[in-house]
Amino acid sequence: MKLTPLIDASAIAERVAELGRTITHDYLGQELVIVPVLKGSYVFAADLARHIDLDISIDFLGVRSYGDERESTGVVRITHDLSHPIEGKHVILVEDIIDTGLTVAYLRQNLVTRNPASLKIASLLHKPSRTRVPVDIDYLGFTVEDVFIVGYGLDCGQRFRNLPYLAAVADAKA
Tell me, rounded to whole angstroms, the distance of Cα 45 from its chain centroid: 7
Residue of 99, 146, 155, 171 marked active site: 99
Residue 170, in any domain of the structure: no
List the CATH number of the domain containing 116: 3.40.50.2020
Q: What is the mean pLDDT of the chain?
A: 92
DSSP code, position 128: G
**60 in a domain, yes or no?**
yes
| Structure confidence by residue, pLDDT tens digits, 3-15 | 999 999 999 999 9
Q: Tell me if 32 is assigned to some domain.
A: yes
Answer whether residue 166 shows pLDDT above 60. Answer: yes
pLDDT in tens, 17-51: 999 999 999 999 998 999 999 999 999 999 999 99
* Phi and psi, residue 109, nearest 5°: -60, -45
- pTM, entire model: 0.91
> Which pLDDT band, with edges at 50, 70 and 90, does 1 fall under?
confident
The verdict on residue 22 lying in a domain is yes
Residue 20: in which H helix or E strand, if any? Answer: helix 9-26
Q: Is residue 174 part of a domain?
A: no
Number of domains into which the chain is organized: 1
- Is 8 one of the catalytic residues? no
